[in-house]
Chains A and B, each alone.
Chain A
Amino acid sequence: EIVLTQSPATLSLSPGERATLSCRASQSVSSYLAWYQQKPGQAPRLLVYDASNRATGIPARFSGSGSETDFTLTISSLEPEDFAVYYCQQRSSWPLTFGGGTKVEIK
């Protein structure tokens, strides 16, 4: 099973600041990594798939990068609605796995 480790667990930032979230895989997943945003009481929302492709309707301030074992989700300038929990997910091999999440909170 591929383990995804997200860091930091919590990121405290102010609106307008840049957020950099990390996801590290226990073995190579090529570029088969996705990122999701989840707000309290809501289902997750797909942000990025295959490492760097923004999903439909996702603002350009969200960008993904990386390959093999190291991936980054960057939010260029935090909007109030971006404070949430973010998860990465790999589809390189079964079982599909998610990272433990990074909470982006208001500082």
Chain B
Amino acid sequence: QKEVEQDPGPLSVPEGAIVSLNCTYSNSAFQYFMWYRQYSRKGPELLMYTYSSGNKEDGRFTAQVDKSSKYISLFIRDSQPSDSATYLCAITAAGNKLTFGGGTRVLVKP
């Protein structure tokens, strides 16, 4: 069993819809949670960072962490075609080594 599980998708939504992404993890030592966005043939870039249970908002993006269930989510409101990318969750216990999920490919159709 992988330490971090993520549905590979693809997830196809119409423009303006809410995109819902999630990851589950198995190690309760994980304390810091990140979401990266990766456009095709590019390196991943950090989108959201959180270290506690609850919600964190940044513009159209909301990251949610439930440590009791070992479950993290990313919501994208009012999705745009430019949001089409692969989204990777990344989790760490100590901060200097990340464990990544496999990534979910998202396609937002105009």
Say if A and B assemble together.
no
